[in-house]
């Protein structure tokens, strides 16, 4: 039996990353409409071509005035001004305010020249068509959003590597930026292996068989994180068939995920097939992580394809997808998929030490942030569906104690 | 000027919800493939038609034995057993183990009859083709996942109202459940109003004008949360045009979102149009929330359409979309969109009281969970894009203090 030489997960990511970088496995760029950009990863800084706002805007409904004119206004001693105009929404105002004059401006409306403040309508009174009482002073600049004061020309408004959200799309719209450069979706092939697997649609399964669930889970995960799943197939434990499948998958994929068959069992063709399909051989064979130890990784210089042999057990397979494949994609793209999926919580019980392996412990999180480890039955298939997240117990941690504050990554 | 009678946000949601319920505004169901179900809301409990596993499975690579046979086995005093067979992955095994016999079983393989435990391969030695040394005892049941012990027949495996994730899809696959009932996506029309708005694609805009950004932000938000955006249009401040647009939108939508035009300004047709388009008139006119006070809501009994007049300012518009529209959808569907978007953090500065309105305060969250309020310029357009989340300051809160632990909702 071959001895497992195991890397840490960090070293594993770095090994594959370095190989990718050395071989110019570059994420490609594409320019897309901002309306299609939700969830995509920005590939270039977005620079404002113009500032915002493009004119001095009122931020309230009120009367644009010259601040000096109203400096003495109070509830008991109002100042009376001549109303010379009512600005309409969207109107390009060319008039110039003179001392003693005021002009109605709605929220978002343009401020006339010479006016330097806006008195809110609540502090005014209409005495006649032409005469307005001002009951409160207003400092210069108040209630006005000055031209370019919110966003300056050439300001970087969204940084490269941000995952584009609806707020970004709003901001881009304001600035008239209709297209952005994002990273092209990576093509992923998912190949599940094993004689024991039958298609998940199979209704009456024979004893000994099990439905293929990993490939559907991985496919959904790939879609969720912005990969393009080009293929999802099942191959029996047959070297030639698997070899052909991987060869063909490499042609159309940036990443080939093999699920199952990477443990030490007898019918494990996966390692040999991966080896045969990567010019420089296996990069990773075994990772010091629990679950997920029997993970294989290689890189094929010819097709520029990353080959990953995931563990067969669903929980391990998906966690390695997240902690290795997704982490690698984050390193390549600069994106941070976990940024808004982390919370701190308090452990409800002790967790023993991880004994030389980084341990990924599934947990549930209560509404008041109490964190409880979920110890499923070995081989259980629904632990992931029942968990809220996971905590990471580092390699040399002596164990965690009840009431420790821990960082939870939501699943 | 009409006096604003303002409801709390909770009352506002309840008013619309009650109206919906009274009028049988029911979320419709549809049955879809699990492969298309990511992010959809489950409309019925999912019950396992069969249990899991469907046979006694080994959870390790090793030798299936009768536990009594190996009860005395130790490193120095091994027990010797006759190997009668090697189970293959996926094989339906019919043989029966007798005392003194063992049988190789791979991880996931079927346990032969009479065997009640599996000794891990690490604690065994192959002496000959037929003879195996066992160096460790193994209790009855150890390393076996018994038939139906993970999931029982008729067990509810995923509850109604769950937002379906990749783990659910994996679990459904294991159980051979190929289709699920989810809530049909609600159809949403987005109508932005205002003479000041120009299409966001406009490159050279005149002073006084501003690009329509809210409708793109709302559209993206709707897509993110699983609505179907059937229309996104802009209408100038013209009663008849807006009235026609709303009338037409009602025919094809469950929800009509009007953006802009709900403040107290002079050209506010929105309220009148909404009133004219809802049989029982306005339900909500003003909400005791900051930002977002000038919000209008109505329900049209004829078309069974919810009509929402959002505030014009982008931050307010989107927060009301989340806190009113999305919250209503959560109440109707039972889903919880915020479940994995909450963290606790420590305030870095005092926040003054909210003065009779529930306040939604945008914040940034540092990597170590320090929470800092973001006070943008009034009228700023990029606060949402710069924020990480928001905190809620309740109606009668006297203000928050530095170092207070607060709950942050990621945006």
A297 with A353, same domain: the answer is no
Chain-chain contact of B170 with A385 (C-beta, under 8 angstroms): yes
Within A201-330, strands assigned E span 210-211, 228-235, 255-259, 282-285, 289-290, 296-300, 305-310
Q: Does B52 touch chain A (CB under 8 A)?
A: yes
Q: Which residues neighbour B101 within 8 Å (Cβ) at sequence distance 6 or greater?
A: B65, B66, B81, B82, B83, B84
Query: 3-class SS at B372?
Result: strand
Chain-chain contact of A208 with B93 (C-beta, under 8 angstroms): yes
Average pLDDT, chain A: 94
Residues of chain A above pLDDT 90, percent: 87
Q: Chain-centre distance of CA B194, in angstroms?
A: 33
Q: How close does chain A come to B378, measured CA to CA in Å?
A: 7
CA distance A338 to A331: 13
Is A21 inside any structural domain?
yes
Q: Which residues neighbour B303 within 8 Å (Cβ) at sequence distance 6 or greater?
A: B250, B251
Domain residues for the domain of A223 are 9-28+185-333
Q: Which residues of B touch A375 (CB under 8 A)?
A: none
Residue with tokens 């919000």: B295
Q: Which residues of B touch A202 (CB under 8 A)?
A: 176
Per-residue model confidence as pLDDT tens digits over A275-315: 999 988 899 999 999 999 889 999 999 999 999 999 988 99
Both structure tokens of A351: 């967790």
Under a CB-based contact definition with an 8 Å cutoff, are residues B252 and B189 in contact?
Answer: yes
Q: Does B4 touch chain A (CB under 8 A)?
A: no
Both structure tokens of A135: 């009951």
B217 with B114, same domain: the answer is no
Query: What residues does B297 pair with on adjacent strands?
Result: B284, B308
pLDDT at A266 over 90: no
Looking at B125, B145, B165, the residue that finishes a domain is B145
Q: Which residues of B touch A107 (CB under 8 A)?
A: 263, 265, 312-313
| Percent helix, percent strand, percent coil in chain B, to nearest 5 | 20, 30, 45
Per-residue model confidence as pLDDT tens digits over A362-398: 999 999 999 999 998 878 888 999 999 999 999 888 8
CA distance A331 to A90: 45
Question: Which among A93, A341, A382 has CB closest to B151?
Answer: A382
B264 with B194, same domain: the answer is yes
Looking at A161, A183, A205, the residue that finishes a domain is A183
Around Cβ A97, how many Cβ atoms within 10 Å?
Answer: 22
Is A222 inside any structural domain?
yes
Per-residue model confidence as pLDDT tens digits over A323-368: 999 999 999 999 999 999 999 999 999 998 777 789 999 999 999 9
Between A195 and A69, the higher pLDDT residue = A69
Q: Which residues of B touch A381 (CB under 8 A)?
A: 52-53, 150-151, 170-171, 174
Between A89 and B79, the higher pLDDT residue = B79
Is A176 inside any structural domain?
yes
Q: Which residues of B touch A314 (CB under 8 A)?
A: 170, 174
Chain-chain contact of A380 with B106 (C-beta, under 8 angstroms): no
Counted residue by residue, chain B has a size of: 411
Query: 3-class SS at A22?
Result: helix
Q: Is residue B53 reached through a cis peptide bond, with omega within 30 degrees of 0 on the bond before it?
A: yes
Residue with tokens 């064979």: A285
B251 with B327, same domain: the answer is yes
Is A4 inside any structural domain?
no
Q: Which residues of B touch A235 (CB under 8 A)?
A: none
Q: How close does chain A come to B238, measured CA to CA in Å?
A: 12
Residue with tokens 């305030």: B347
Please tell me the predicted confidence (pLDDT) of residue A1.
35
B75 with B136, same domain: the answer is yes
Interface test with A, best of B220, B371, B386 (most A CBs within 10 A): B220
The backbone region for A141, taken as left when phi is positive above 0, alpha when psi lies in -120 to 50, beta otherwise, is left
Nearest to A410 by CA among A359, A369, A350: A369
A39 with A175, same domain: the answer is yes
Nearest to B114 by CA among B99, B136, B125, B127: B99
Q: Domain containing B172 — which CATH number?
A: 3.90.105.10
Both structure tokens of B177: 């459940």
Sign, CA torsion A236/A240/A241/A245: positive
Please tell me the predicted confidence (pLDDT) of residue B263.
54
Chain-chain contact of A169 with B377 (C-beta, under 8 angstroms): no
Under a CB-based contact definition with an 8 Å cutoff, are residues A158 and A225 in contact?
Answer: no
What residues of chain B, 364 to 403, have a C-beta less than 8 Å from chain A? Answer: 369, 377-382, 384-385, 387-389
Q: Domain containing B93 — which CATH number?
A: 2.170.190.11
Number of independent structural domains in chain A: 4
Query: What residues does B118 pair with on adjacent strands?
Result: B64
Output the tens digit of pLDDT for each of chain B's 411 residues: 344 568 999 999 999 999 999 999 999 999 999 999 999 999 999 999 999 999 999 999 999 999 999 999 999 999 999 999 999 989 999 999 999 999 999 999 999 999 999 999 999 999 999 999 999 999 999 999 999 999 999 999 999 999 999 999 999 999 999 999 999 999 999 999 999 999 999 999 999 999 999 999 999 999 999 999 999 999 998 899 999 999 999 999 999 999 986 555 545 688 999 999 998 889 999 999 999 988 999 999 999 999 999 998 899 999 999 999 999 999 999 999 999 999 999 999 999 877 778 999 999 999 999 999 999 887 888 899 999 999 999 988 888 999 999 999 999
Is B3 inside any structural domain?
no
Nearest to A272 by CA among A298, A247, A239: A239
Provide the b/e sequence for A244-279 (b: ≥16 CB within 10 Å): ebbeebbeebbbbbbbbbbbbbebbbbbebbeebbe
Q: What is the ipTM of this complex?
A: 0.95
A189 with A179, same domain: the answer is no
CA distance A142 to B225: 38
Please tell me the predicted confidence (pLDDT) of residue B380.
86
Q: Which residues neighbour A290 within 8 Å (Cβ) at sequence distance 6 or greater?
A: A354, A357, A358, A359, A360
A102 with A241, same domain: the answer is no
**C-alpha angle A355/A268/A266, rounded to 5°?**
85
| Percent helix, percent strand, percent coil in chain A, to nearest 5 | 20, 30, 45
Is A1 inside any structural domain?
no
Report in angstroms the alpha-carbon separations of A154 from A55, A157, A214, B199, B329: 17, 9, 47, 22, 40
Is B4 inside any structural domain?
no
Q: Does B268 touch chain A (CB under 8 A)?
A: no
Sign, CA torsion A136/A137/A139/A143: positive
CA distance A26 to A306: 12
Q: Which residues of A touch B389 (CB under 8 A)?
A: 340
CA distance A256 to A245: 10
Is B233 inside any structural domain?
yes
Nearest to A1 by CA among A223, A227, A266, A187: A266
B286 with B315, same domain: the answer is yes
Per-residue model confidence as pLDDT tens digits over A7-16: 999 999 999 9
Q: How close does chain B come to A345, measured CA to CA in Å?
A: 8
CB burial class (10 A; 0-12, 13-18, 19+) of residue A323? buried
Q: What is the DSSP letter of B73?
A: -
CB burial class (10 A; 0-12, 13-18, 19+) of residue B159? exposed
B138 with B66, same domain: the answer is yes
B131 with B228, same domain: the answer is no
What residues of chain A, 62 to 81, have a C-beta less than 8 Å from chain B? Answer: none
Q: Domain containing B13 — which CATH number?
A: 3.40.980.10
Looking at B270, B298, B333, the residue that finishes a domain is B333
Report in angstroms the alpha-carbon separations of A145 from A58, A109, A239, B310, B401: 6, 10, 69, 22, 30
B376 with B325, same domain: the answer is no
CA distance A242 to A272: 10
Question: Which among A224, A263, A377 has CB closest to B149?
Answer: A377
């Amino acid at each position: 039996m071959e001895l497992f030489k195991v890397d840490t997960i960090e070293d594993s990511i770095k090994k594959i990353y370095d190989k990718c970088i050395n071989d110019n496995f570059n994420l490609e760029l594409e320019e897309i409409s901002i309306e299609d950009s939700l969830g995509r990863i920005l590939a270039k800084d977005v620079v404002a071509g113009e500032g915002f706002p493009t004119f001095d805007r009122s931020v309230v409904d009120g009367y644009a005035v010259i601040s000096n004119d109203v400096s003495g206004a109070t509830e008991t001693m109002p100042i009376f001004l001549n109303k010379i105009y009512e600005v309409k929404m969207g109107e390009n105002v060319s008039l110039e305010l003179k001392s003693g004059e005021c002009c109605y401006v709605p929220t978002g409306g343009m401020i006339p020249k010479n006016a330097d403040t806006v008195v809110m309508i609540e502090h005014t009174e209409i005495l006649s068509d032409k005469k307005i009482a001002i009951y409160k002073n207003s400092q210069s600049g108040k209630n006005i959003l000055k031209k370019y004061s919110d966003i300056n020309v050439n300001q970087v408004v969204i940084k490269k590597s941000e995952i584009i959200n609806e707020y970004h799309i709003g901001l881009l719209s304001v600035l008239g930026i209709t297209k952005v450069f994002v990273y092209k979706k990576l093509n992923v092939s998912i190949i599940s292996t094993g004689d024991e697997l039958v298609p998940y649609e199979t209704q009456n399964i024979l004893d000994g068989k099990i439905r293929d669930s990993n490939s559907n889970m991985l496919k959904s995960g790939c879609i969720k994180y912005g990969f393009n799943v080009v293929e999802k197939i099942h191959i029996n434990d047959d070297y030639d068939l698997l070899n052909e499948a991987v060869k063909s998958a490499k042609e159309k994929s940036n990443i080939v995920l093999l699920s199952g068959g990477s443990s030490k069992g007898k019918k494990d063709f996966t390692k040999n097939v991966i080896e045969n399909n990567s010019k420089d051989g296996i990069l990773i064979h075994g990772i010091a992580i629990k679950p997920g130890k029997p993970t294989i990784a290689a890189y094929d210089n010819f097709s520029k394809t990353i080959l990953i042999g995931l563990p067969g057990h669903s929980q391990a397979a998906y966690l390695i997808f997240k902690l290795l494949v997704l982490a690698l994609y984050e390193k390549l793209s600069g994106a941070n998929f976990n940024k808004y999926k982390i919370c701190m919580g308090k452990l409800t019980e002790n967790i023993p030490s991880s004994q030389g392996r980084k341990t990924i412990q599934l947990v549930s999180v209560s509404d008041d942030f109490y964190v409880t480890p979920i110890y499923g039955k070995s081989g259980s298939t629904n632990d992931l569906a029942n968990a809220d997240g996971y905590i990471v117990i580092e390699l040399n941690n002596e164990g965690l104690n009840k009431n420790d504050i821990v960082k939870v990554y939501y699943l």
